[in-house]
Amino acid sequence: PINDLAQMFADPQVKARGLAIEMPHALAGMVPQVASPIRLSETPVEYRNAPPLLGEHTEEVLQRVLGLGADAVAAFKEAGVL
């Protein structure tokens, strides 16, 4: 069957495996998330952050990852690209 999110989170297998977690979100309060199905006894998965807001890390990615300077990012903002 194709389940919607409510059906998926209510599924007995999802509950038995502990695949439903909740994380705090900046705008939505506590939001349901799907946990990793991987279970490692020595290195359990850590959930640090909820999904980011749209565009939350855009400047960081442009500067750190792509190596653009602050002037280039400012030009993108001025042009309405960001």
Q: Mind listing the pLDDT tens digit for each residue in 12-36?
A: 999 999 999 999 988 889 988 999 9
pTM of the full structure: 0.60
Overall domain count for the chain: 2
Q: Which domain holds residue 31?
A: 1-47
Residues 15 and 33 in one domain: yes
How many Å apart are CA 50 and CA 35, to the nearest integer? 11
Residues 8 and 36 in one domain: yes
How many Å apart are CA 74 and CA 82, to the nearest integer? 9
Which candidate, 59, 2, 52, 60, places its Cα nearest to that of 27?
52
Report DSSP letters for 34-58, one per residue.
EPPS---SSS------PPPPTTTTH
Q: Mind listing the pLDDT tens digit for each residue in 35-59?
A: 999 988 899 899 988 888 899 999 9
